[in-house]
A and B are shown apart, each in its own frame.
Chain A
Amino acid sequence: MRHGRYRFIFGFLAAPVILYVVFVISPYIQAFYISLTNWKGISANPQFIGLENYTRLLDDEVFWAAVRHHGVLLLVMPLVTIVIALFFSFLLNLSGGQRGGQMRGIWGSKVYRVIFFLPQVLAVAIVGVLFQAIYRPDESGVINGLLGLVGIDPVGWLIAPDLALWSIIGVMVWQAVGFYVVLFSAGMSSIPKDVFEAAELDGANRSTLFFKITLPLLWDTMQVAWVYLGIAAFDAFALVQVLSVDRGGPDNSTTVLPLEIWRTAFNFSKFGYASAMGVVLFFMTITFAALTLRVTRRERIEF
């Protein structure tokens, strides 16, 4: 009977595993192979050229610009998103003081929760189109129109090379915050009330509550958030594609690897070279995720 059980489990798992292998794992493996060829994406017989694509990457200016931008995104985007999300979820859940032994959020917190989550519901393409109007570089843009009312000249949000990437990071943060507010709220609600009660009896103020109680007990959730956001920082394709000047411009100032992979493959017909970029991106993402999980590992507090 024991034997039959394993066969049952195998039978149950086989379908998803096969689907996963066919549609996820096998393209990955293929990408590794294609990256060693000069495949143009049309014929079915690519030539094997060894590591040529990888050596070419070394002095590809645009590729390095994209890598640098991922560095900036990785440093800034998760940090800003998590700080804002933590702040909001603390306000929504715990900052209203106690009533009847329950921690409360500030007044109207239920309405705010819906408002914060709203951007998450929008498809990224719609967000892109929205921000096209918001960031429009002349007076007809939403922000520049408002600035115009107080007599400030229009700002080239997406056309100034020094500003463009930050404008795009702004959109990413705006879109992501809502989800993490909800995530952190769930984490906070699972913290036992008596911990807060005890702390308050001992005379802890709100900031002590936040830094000494909430934050340490939320560590696991934050770790997850950090990994998710980090992986998102390796993407940014859709927003850059829709928002930036000439797809990644001006002067390469906003380009990201997924965009360059797409351009190299579909515009330049260099699927081999694009796959090499893809492989590099794959390793960057994996390394990041592994490092984050390793570095942020802490003792778990069970409650």
Chain B
Amino acid sequence: MSYSAGTPGDITRRQMLRRIGLTALVAGPAAGLLSACATGGSNAPAATTSAAPSSGGAVSAANPFGVAANAPLEVVIFKGGLGDSYATDVHEPLYKKTFPQATVKHVATQQIAQTLQPRFASGDVPDVIANSGTDLMDTGALQQEGQLQDLTELWDAPSIDDPAKKVRDTVAPGTIESGLIDNKPYLMNYVFSAYGLWYDSALFEKNGWTPPKTFEEFKALAEKIKAAGITPFAYAGKNASYYAFWMILISAAKIEGNQVLIDIDNLEDGVWKRDSVKQSAAAWAEIGKYMDKSFEGLIHTEVQTRQNQGKVALYPSGSWLENEQKSQTPEGFKYALTPTPSVTAADKMPFEAIRAAAGEAYIVPSKAKNPKGGLEYLRIMLSKEGARGFTEKSGNITVVTGAADGLDLSPGNASLSAAQTAAGQNIVTFSSFENWYKELETELRKQTNALMFGRITADQFCDNMQKAADKTKSDSSITKQKRTV
């Protein structure tokens, strides 16, 4: 270092002190930051938030949770296929109507986990979260950490439309069960979805095709469709292989009954190697052969758009599909739903059986500043007015029974409701492992792509999945959960 002697030596004592003061200014907040880092803070942040103003408000028939009328409410909405106008135009105004003094803060994001994980870690959590999308929060982990509000209070509260009824009696059967973690209701699954194969009924009518009822028919039809220059069946391997594994699981349940899905969730020994899973995987792998290899590199919207262009016949998805593709769907394209074909003649469930489940979980964080306001917000969502508004804005049917009655349904929704009627009590149950054990789900995505694009056989698929399930089961760092229904 060869500084010219002049400059630094000539500083006066006063300048010096000023400089040290500046350093202290920078160092002060830095020390505060240090203590606020990931593991430094012990339980301090939680303590400060629970002292928030939620204690106000008297309990009354109209206000069963005792929400403080002036407490602000923060709502975080996943802005995906459903949009977020249902919140900004319907539910939030309804909340404001009930509590005019409250301010409602609306946050829309496509990345729930990235947005909220740091906020959970620091204790600054919103009051209602629409926990959806690829990057949703792991609700199992949240529950284990005591971050979720038990919703029993909500389900037992009087319904807004008919105070004589409890909220739990106004929703479709299975709704509350689908939101259980550790046998307590923590998730409010709001959207009623049905899963199956979606096709353009206009295209099928024009060509004289009928949706297949068995896998033999499926293959025969696939040959015909292929001859017409259309891909008979396709899904997007790049980011939506779970659409395909849903079909495999649904078929397995049709063969053996819902017990197989319950056992998969419970990580029963050898469940992935059962005949039902093997037969189902083998049957779907056969259909995978009709799919061009390139679909593994496409994302769901690309494949869905190809279906809209008449290049793909049958596409596995849920009932949000029609709404998601609204802007791409050409005039005359009529979405319709058909159940997955039967695999064997001895299937426990008939062809008509569909998977219908309450999906799109809404949660209230227990350490929010206004958790009671959060519960009230959910109760408003479950009112007829809230549910109807949701269906109008998002094009999806909710779990609230009869809320969509009299609404002019789209072709897809009409077909959905017909399929639901045909299925009656034959409903394939939901799968909880997708939320409980994310690692197992990630492995299943991988193995599904390998199976459907012909890199492994059904037997290898079952072996690999059993290995992954065993690994999850023996992993002491993952808290195991059980379901009985």
Residues of A bordering B, CB below 8 Å: 1-2, 4-5, 7-9, 11-12, 14-15, 18-19, 22, 26-27, 30, 33-34, 37-46, 135-138, 154, 156-159, 161, 245-246, 249-252, 263, 266-270, 272-273
Contacts and interface: CB of A to CB of B under 8 A. Distances in A.
Interface string B10-54: 010100100110110011001001100111011111100000000
A37 to B, nearest CB: 8
Given A4-B16, A269-B141, A45 B438 contact: no
Nearest to B292: A138
A129 to B, nearest CB: 12
Nearest to B455: A251
Given A8-B19, A137-B296, A250-B453, A42 B8 contact: no
B441 to A, nearest CB: 9
B477 interface: yes
Nearest to A273: B477
Shortest beta-carbon contacts, A-B, top 5: A137-B294, A137-B297, A269-B141, A138-B294, A11-B19
Nearest to A267: B438
B117 to A, nearest CB: 6
Given A38-B477, A42-B120, A268-B439, A8 B39 contact: no
Contacts of A39: 38-39
A273 B293 CA distance: 35
B238 interface: yes
B16 A7 contact: yes
B450 interface: yes
Contact of A245 (B9, B19, B297): B297
Contacts of A18: 23, 26-27, 30
A44 B141 contact: no
A159 B294 contact: yes
B114 interface: yes
24 contacts: A1-B9, A2-B9, A5-B9, A8-B8, A12-B19, A18-B30, A27-B37, A38-B477, A40-B141, A41-B141, A42-B120, A42-B141, A42-B145, A44-B42, A136-B294, A138-B294, A156-B296, A159-B237, A246-B446, A249-B449, A250-B453, A250-B455, A266-B113, A269-B138
Given A40-B145, A137-B297, A156-B297, 16 more contacts: A2-B9, A4-B13, A12-B19, A18-B30, A30-B37, A33-B39, A39-B38, A42-B141, A42-B142, A42-B147, A44-B44, A246-B239, A250-B453, A251-B446, A266-B114, A269-B141
Contacts of A37: 39
B442 interface: yes
Nearest to B17: A11
Nearest to A13: B23
A43 B141 CA distance: 10
A14 B30 CA distance: 12
A245 B238 contact: yes
Interface in B168-215: none
B21 to A, nearest CB: 10
A22 B34 contact: yes
Contacts of B296: 137, 156, 159, 245, 250
A288 B434 CA distance: 39
Given A5-B9, A11-B20, A137-B298, A250 B43 contact: no
A5 B138 CA distance: 55
A19 B30 contact: yes
Contacts of A263: 442
B163 to A, nearest CB: 37
Interface in B137-156: 138, 141-142, 144-147
A13 B27 CA distance: 12
A206 B241 CA distance: 55
B34 A270 contact: no
Contact of A161 (B45, B439, B455): B455
A252 B468 CA distance: 14
Contacts of B292: 138
B121 interface: yes
A298 B38 CA distance: 44
A250 B449 contact: yes
B113 A44 contact: no
A37 B39 CA distance: 11
Nearest to A161: B455
Interface string B407-446: 0000000000000000000000000000000110010011
B294 A268 contact: no
A30 B446 contact: no
Most chain A CB atoms below 10 A, which of B37, B41, B147, B238? B238
Contact of B27 (A2, A8, A14, A34): A14
B135 interface: yes
Contacts of A157: 297
Given A18-B30, A246-B445, A268-B438, A158 B297 contact: yes
Contact of A30 (B13, B39, B42, B147): B39
Contacts of B121: 41-42, 44
A275 to B, nearest CB: 10
B27 A44 contact: no
A244 B438 CA distance: 20
A27 B33 CA distance: 11
A41 B22 CA distance: 35
Given A18-B26, A44-B41, A267 B138 contact: yes
A179 B207 CA distance: 57
Interface centre among B8, B41, B46, B146 (most CB of A within 10 A): B8
B288 to A, nearest CB: 14
Contacts of A135: 297
A136 B298 CA distance: 8
